[in-house]
Amino acid sequence: MKLPLTISKVQEGLKSGDYSCVDLVDMHLGRIRAVDHKLNAFITVTDNYAYDLAKKHDNTIANDKKAFENFPLLGVITSLKDVYLTEGIETTAGSNVLRGYAPQYSSTVVKKLEAAGAIIIGKTNLDAWAHGASGENSDFGSTKNPWHLDMVPGGSSSGSAVSVAAQMATISMGTDTGGSVRLPASFCGVTGFKSTYGTVSRYGVVSMASSLDSMGHFTHTVDDAEKVFNIIKGTDSLDSTLSDRSTSLKKSYKIGLAKEYFEKGIDVQILQSIEEVRDLFEGDGIEFVDVSLPHTKYGISAYYIIMPAEVSSNLGRYDGVRYGAGRDALGEEAKRRIMMGTHVLSSGYAEKYYLKAQKIRTLIREDFDSVFTKVDAVIGPVSPTPAFQLGERVEDPIEMYLADILTVNANLAGLPAISIPSGFTSSGLPVSYQLIGPHYSENILFSLGKLYQEKTSFHTKTPTI
Amino acid sequence: MAKMTKDQVEHLARLASLSLTQDEVEKYSTQLSAVLEYVEALSELNTKAVEPTHQSSGLENLLRSDEINAEQILSQEHALREAKETHNGYFKVPPVLLKDQ
C-alpha cells in the first residue's frame, strides 16, 4: 500500500477503514527496516511504544465519534530529533555523553503532540548537540541524503528531515538555532518550518544556544506545518520566554527581494528556481519589492560568537555527576565551540567579541524591522548550494559554518521562517526557497506557502530508495 | 591579526574543564585562529552608539507566584536514577580541593 504523505490523507484512510493505527505503525516500521540501514536516520526506534499508542488510538477511533476533532493528530506517525526529552526513552543529543540516558520527564512539545494523538515512532539522528550543518557530526554515524546517498542530508536535524523525506514518519520535530531545520529540509526536499522565538516551548529540549533556539518541524506540506504549529505553540509555565501573540491575515501581500540574499556565490540553479517562484507568486497578484538588509553579511560572524558563548555555558552542566558521562566523552566540534565560547566571554575579550556581536545583532534586527514596514515577508535561498558531498567540508570548520550564511539572521532576530521545496537540480537534488516574516507572522507565512503549494507539486515528490 | 596560541588553547581547556591531547591543542590553535580571523570582519562596523540585543522576545520581568508545584518535583529516587554514583540519597561528586594542595 502507498504510504499517506499528509495528516489529512492519514486520517482519511483511518476514517474509511483502509488501515488502522496499528497498520500505520506496521507500514512505517517496515519502511524503516527496508531503508534505514542505508540512511541512518534513527538512533532509537520505539516500536513497542508506538504499538501501545496505536492500539489505544484504534480503540478511541472505534468508541469516540468525535475522535478526530478531539485528537487532531490522531494516528500521525511522528519522529523526534533526539534532543526532545522522552520520559524513560533514551535521549542522546547525538553525543556519547548521553548514550543510555533515559530522561525522568518529557518535553512540553512531546506531551502536546501525544495529547493530540500523535504516535512517536522513534528518535532521530543529528549532529551531536545540534552542532553542525551536514549531519556528519554525530557520534552515531552520519545520516545520508535519501536523494543521493553520497550527499549530506543537511544538519543539524538530519535524521528528522530524512525520516520525513523517505517516508519513515509523516511529521518530525527538529530544532533551528541557526538553520538546523530549514537547511536539512532544503537538502532533502521537504517543508521545514522555524517558529518565532518565544512561540513554542523549549522546556525539556536539550539546550544549544538559549537566546537562539527555536522549535521547528518537518512535514511534506505547508498545510501540515500549520497543523503541527497549532498543536505545539502557546505559553507554558515552564518556559518564561513565551507569549501567545499572532498576526491577522491580510487581503494582499508584498514579498521583499533583499539584494544581499542574491549576491555572488549562490548556485545558478537555485537562483533560477527562485525566479520561477517569483513568477508564480506574481501571477497570483503578489507584489515583489526590492529591499535591502545591509548588515546581512555580518550575521554569520555575530552568530559564531554569540552561539558558542551560549553553548559553552549550556554544555557546562555535563560533568557526569547527575546523569550522562563526563566531559571526556564530548566530541571534537562541541569542544571547539566550548573553547571559542569560553574565549569570547573571557575577561579582556568579552567586549571585543561578545558585546560587539550583540550590537551587530541589534543592527540585523533593525534591518528586518525597517524592511517589514514595507513588505510582509522576505524571500531568499536557504543555502548557497544544494546538498554537498559527504566528507567534503569536515576538515574545514569555516567552510562548514558558511552553509548557515543565509539562515542565521532569522535566528539572531528571532523571526519565523519556512523552507519550501521549489524544484530539483539537473543532478536530481532538491532545491528550496525560504520566506522569513516579522515576529509572530506564522499565519502569513503559512498562507503564502499554501498558495505556492496549491500551484506546484515539488512537495509531493519522494526519493526512490 | 587575531591568533589563538597553543598556550591560550590550553588555558581555555582548563577553564572549561576539557582535557586535550597535544594533537588537539595544535589543531584547535589553527582552527580557532582561523575563526577569530573570520569574525574580525565585525570590527569594521562602528557600533559605539548601538545598544546590544540579549534576546529577541521583547518580554520583560515575567513574574509568577512563589509557590511549589508538586507536579514539577522529581522524587529523590527519580532524581538520582541516572547518576553513576550516589551516597545516602545524594549525588556523589569528585573532590574539588585535595588535602595536600
A343 in Cβ contact with A304 (< 8 Å): no
Query: Going along A212-294, which residue ranges are E strands?
Result: 214-219, 254-258, 287-291
* pLDDT tens for the 465 residues of chain A, in order: 789 999 999 999 999 999 999 999 999 999 999 999 999 999 999 999 999 999 999 999 999 999 999 999 999 999 999 999 999 999 999 999 999 999 999 999 999 999 999 999 999 999 999 999 999 999 999 999 999 999 999 999 999 999 999 999 999 999 999 999 999 999 999 999 999 999 999 999 999 999 999 999 999 999 999 999 999 999 998 999 999 999 999 999 999 999 999 987 899 999 999 999 999 999 999 999 999 999 999 999 999 999 999 999 999 999 999 999 999 999 999 999 999 999 999 999 999 999 999 999 999 999 999 999 999 999 999 999 999 999 999 888 888 888 899 999 999 999 999 999 999 999 999 999 999 999 999 999 999 999 999 999 999 999 998
Mean of pLDDT over chain B: 92
- Between CA A417 and CA A157 the distance in angstroms is 16
- Between CA A209 and CA A132 the distance in angstroms is 13
Q: Which 58-77 residues of chain B touch chain A by CB within 8 A?
A: 58-59, 62, 64, 69, 72, 74
Instruction: Identify whether B86 is part of a domain.
Output: no
- Between CA A220 and CA A206 the distance in angstroms is 26
Q: State which residues form the domain around B32.
A: 6-44
Assembly ipTM: 0.94
pLDDT number for residue B74? 92
**Which sign, positive or negative, has the C-alpha torsion A141, A143, A148, A154?**
negative
pLDDT number for residue A322? 96
Q: Chain A within 8 Å of B21 (Cβ-Cβ)?
A: no
Residue B48 has pLDDT above 60, yes or no: yes
Indicate yes or no: CB of A104 within 8 angstroms of CB of B55: no
Catalytic option among A156, A157, A201, A214: A156
Q: How far is CA A156 from CA A16, A88, A152, A304, A404, in A?
A: 38, 24, 11, 15, 11
Options 3.40.30.10, 3.30.1330.80, 3.90.1300.10, 3.40.50.170; CATH for A7-297+359-460 is 3.90.1300.10
Residue B1 has pLDDT above 70, yes or no: no
Cross-strand partners of A271: none
Mutation target among A335, A365, A369, A405 for the B interface, most CBs of B within 10 A:
A335
pLDDT number for residue A49? 98
Q: Chain A within 8 Å of B97 (Cβ-Cβ)?
A: no
- Between CA A194 and CA A182 the distance in angstroms is 7
Q: Which of B16, B52, B57 sits opposite A358 (nearest CB)?
A: B52
CB atoms within 10 A of CB A228: 29
Q: Which residues of A touch B64 (CB under 8 A)?
A: 237, 240
Residue B98 has pLDDT above 90, yes or no: no
Q: Which residues of A touch B54 (CB under 8 A)?
A: 211, 358
Q: Which residues of A touch B43 (CB under 8 A)?
A: 356
Domain boundaries, chain A: 7-297+359-460
Residue A180 annotated among the catalytic residues of the structure = yes
Q: Chain B within 8 Å of A34 (Cβ-Cβ)?
A: no
- Between CA B55 and CA B61 the distance in angstroms is 13
A421 in Cβ contact with A219 (< 8 Å): no
Give the CATH number of the domain where residue B26 resides.
1.10.20
Residue B101 has pLDDT above 60, yes or no: no
Q: How far is CA A32 from CA A47, A94, A99, A114, A122, in A?
A: 11, 19, 21, 21, 10
- Between CA A10 and CA A23 the distance in angstroms is 11
Q: Chain A within 8 Å of B29 (Cβ-Cβ)?
A: no
Residue A252 annotated among the catalytic residues of the structure = no
Residue B64 has pLDDT above 80, yes or no: yes
Which is more confident, B70 or A311? A311
Nearest to residue A337, comparing CAs of A131, A151, A147?
A131
Instruction: Identify whether B19 is part of a domain.
Output: yes
The tally of domains found in chain B comes to 1
**Angle B22-39/B6-15 helices, nearest 10 degrees?**
100
Residue A81 annotated among the catalytic residues of the structure = yes
Residue with cell 482519511: A12
Q: Which of A237, A343, A363 sits opposite B12 (nearest CB)?
A: A343
Indicate yes or no: CB of B35 within 8 angstroms of CB of A240: no
